[in-house]
Structure 1
Amino acid sequence: MSDSKTDISGQFKSWMENIGSFLRRGLPFAWGILAALITLAIYHFIFIAPKQLSTDDVNRTVAIAMASATPEPAYSTQVYQIIRPSLVLIEVEETHQDAESDFGLGSGVVVDNFGDILTSLHVIDGATTILVTFADGTQSEAQVVMEMPELDLAVIQALDTPLVVVPAVLGNPGAMQVGDEAFVVGNPFGLYSSLTSGVISGFDRVFRVPDSHVEIPGMIQFDAAANPGNSGGPLLNRQGHVIGIVTGLINPTEETFFVGIGFAVPINAAVGGMGSPPY
Structure 2
Amino acid sequence: MLPSTAAEPPTVVPPAESERAEGGRAARLLRGIRARRWRRLAAVAVVLALAATLGALVLRPDTPALTRRDVERAVDQRVGSALEQQQEKPPPASVVYQAVLPSLVQVVTRSGDGSVGTGAGVVVNAAGAVLTALHVVDGATFLQVRFADGTRARATVATRRDADDIAVLTVDRLPDVVVPAVLGGSAQVGQPVVAVGHPFGLTRTVTSGVVSGLDRTVRLDDGGTLDGLIQFDAAVNPGNSGGPLLDEAGRVIGIVTGLANPADQAFFVGVGFAVPIENAAAAAHAPPV
TM beyond 0.5 = yes
Residue 214 of structure 1: how far off its partner (Å): 2.6
Q: How does 1:17-96 map to 2 (within 5 A)?
A: 42-43=59-60, 69=85, 71-96=88-113
CA distance in 2, matches of 1:40, 1:246: 74
Letter in 1 for 2:260: I
Q: How does 1:222-261 map to 2 (within 5 A)?
A: 222-261=232-271
* SS of equivalent to 1:162: coil
Identical residues among aligned pairs (%): 49
Residue of structure 1 equivalent to 2:282: 272
Residue 263 of structure 1: how far off its partner (Å): 0.3
Residue 102 of structure 1: how far off its partner (Å): 0.8
Asked if structure 1 preserves the Cα contact closer than 8 Å seen for 2:168 and 2:283, the reply is no
Residue 273 of structure 1: how far off its partner (Å): 3.5
| Superposed CA offset, 1:232-265 (max 9, x none) | 0000000010000000001221112111100000
Residue of structure 1 equivalent to 2:204: 193
Q: Alpha carbon RMSD of aligned pairs, Å?
A: 2.7
Residue 120 of structure 1: how far off its partner (Å): 0.5
Which runs of 5 or more residues in structure 1 are unaligned? 1-37, 48-64
TM-score by length of 1: 0.72
* Runs of 4+ residues over 6 Å off in structure 1: 38-41
CA distance in 2, matches of 1:218, 1:119: 17
Residue of structure 1 equivalent to 2:192: 181
| Superposed CA offset, 1:140-194 (max 9, x none) | 1111111111111101111111011000000002xx3211101100111111111
Q: How many residues align?
A: 218
* SS of equivalent to 1:189: helix
Residue of structure 2 equivalent to 1:143: 156
Residue of structure 2 equivalent to 1:153: 166
| Superposed CA offset, 1:189-246 (max 9, x none) | 111111000000000000123x322311100000000000000000000001000000
Residue 84 of structure 1: how far off its partner (Å): 0.5
TM-score by length of 2: 0.69
1:123 and 2:123 equivalent?
no
Asked if structure 1 preserves the Cα contact closer than 8 Å seen for 2:131 and 2:284, the reply is no
Determine which structure has more spread, i.e. the larger CA radius of gyration.
2
Residue 43 of structure 1: how far off its partner (Å): 4.8
* SS of equivalent to 1:268: helix
Residue of structure 1 equivalent to 2:219: 208
| Superposed CA offset, 1:108-132 (max 9, x none) | 0000110000001110111111111
CA distance in 2, matches of 1:204, 1:158: 32
* SS of equivalent to 1:156: strand
Letter in 2 for 1:164: V
CA distance in 1, matches of 2:268, 2:116: 21
CA distance in 2, matches of 1:154, 1:177: 25
Residue of structure 2 equivalent to 1:109: 122
CA distance in 2, matches of 1:78, 1:131: 28
* SS of equivalent to 1:244: strand
Asked if structure 1 preserves the Cα contact closer than 8 Å seen for 2:183 and 2:251, the reply is yes
Letter in 1 for 2:279: A
CA distance in 2, matches of 1:218, 1:212: 18
Letter in 1 for 2:176: L
| Superposed CA offset, 1:78-107 (max 9, x none) | 1011100000001110123xxxx1110000
CA distance in 1, matches of 2:198, 2:133: 13
